[in-house]
Amino acid sequence: MCQHAPVTEHPPHSPGVDLLDVHRLRCAEAAPPALSPGEREAMEREWEEAVRANPSLFDGPTVLCTRLHWEEPGSLVLSWARAPYRYRALRRIPGARPVSSVSVCLVQPTDDGRLVVGRMASWTAAPGRWQLPGGSMEPPPGGAALDLAALRRHAARELVEETGVETPPEELTFWLVSRGEHGNVGFFFRAPARPARLLHERFAARAAAERARGVEPELDRIALVASAGDLAGLDGSHVDYLHPVVHRYAGTHRAG
C-alpha cells in the first residue's frame, strides 16, 4: 500500500513562483468564495471602475482556484469554482479575501529550441506584458467536469486563437504547473516544435485576419526567446512565471 505524503499547500501570497512537477492531476469542483456584503459591495465598485478605465473587459465565466494541495508525491489536487471574472477585482481591495485564477499556458518551441512569447495588446487587462500564449481557464460547458482533457482542449484553442498555430489537443504534452502571484495556478502544455518562419507566418496571418474583421488581436507582437538574456531585451513587463519557465525549458532543451 502506498503511504500518503503529508498534505502541503502553497500560501496564496508566497513570494516568487513555484514550478511543480505533476504526474497526476485530480480536479474537484467547489462552491465559489462566499463574500460578505461589504466585500461584494467593494468588488462591484472596483469592477465598475475597472470597466470605465477599460471598456473591453468582459465579465465572462472563469475558473478560480479555491485550494491546491498534494494528495501524494507527484499527485496534485485542484479544488476549483465557477465565478465571473469580476471576482478578480477583489485583489485591489485591501484586506479582501485572496482570489486565485487558473490559466493554461503554451510552451511553443521552434526547431532550434527557442520559445514563442507574446506581448499583450493595449486593450487587454495587462497591456504591454510579455507572456506565453494562453489565457484564463473557462468552466467546461454544460456543467461538465474539469479535468486534464478539458485543460488540454482549452490550451489548443488558446494556441490557435493567439498565434494561428493549429495543434490537435492530443499532441499537447502536459509539462508542469506553476503557483505564483495571488496564488494563481498555471497549467503548462508543450506543443510540437515548428520552424520559426512558420510560426511568424501563422501569427501574421492570424493577426491580419482578425483586423480585417475589425478585431484587434490579443497579442500585438511575438518574439522568440531562448534565455533570460533574451527576455531582458524585451520592452515592457513580464508575467511572473515567464523567467523561471524559460529558464526551466532552456535547461531541459540543453539536457535533451
pLDDT per position as a tens digit, 15-34: 489 999 999 999 999 999 89
In this prediction, residue 228 carries a pLDDT of 85
Give pairs for 136-139: CB < 8 Å, separation 24+. 136/62, 136/63, 136/85, 136/101, 136/102, 136/103, 137/62, 137/63, 137/101, 137/102, 137/103, 137/104, 137/187, 138/60, 138/61, 138/62, 138/63, 139/61, 139/62, 139/63, 139/82
* 41 pLDDT more than 70: yes
pLDDT in tens, 110-131: 999 999 999 999 999 899 999 9
In this prediction, residue 254 carries a pLDDT of 65
pLDDT in tens, 130-169: 999 999 999 988 878 899 999 999 999 999 999 999 999 9
Once rounded to an integer, what is the mean pLDDT over residues 213-237? 94
Cell numbers describing residue 52: 470605465
Instruction: Give the list of residues 6+ apart from residue 58 with CB closer than 8 angstroms, or none.
Output: 85
* 7 pLDDT more than 80: no
pTM: 0.90
In this prediction, residue 153 carries a pLDDT of 96
In this prediction, residue 96 carries a pLDDT of 84
Instruction: Give the list of residues 6+ apart from residue 134 with CB closer than 8 angstroms, or none.
Output: 103, 104, 105, 106, 155, 158, 159, 162, 186
In this prediction, residue 16 carries a pLDDT of 83
CA distance 129 to 132: 10
**Is 41 strand, coil or helix?**
helix
Once rounded to an integer, what is the mean pLDDT over residues 210-218? 95
pLDDT band for position 103 (cuts 50, 70, 90)? very high
Pairing state of beta strands 115-120 and 18-20?
unpaired
Is residue 115 within 8 Å of 230, Cβ to Cβ?
A: no
In this prediction, residue 182 carries a pLDDT of 86
In this prediction, residue 1 carries a pLDDT of 28
Is residue 196 within 8 Å of 110, Cβ to Cβ?
A: yes
Q: How many beta carbons lie within 10 A of that of residue 213, not counting itself? A: 6
* 3 pLDDT more than 70: no
Once rounded to an integer, what is the mean pLDDT over residues 99-109? 96
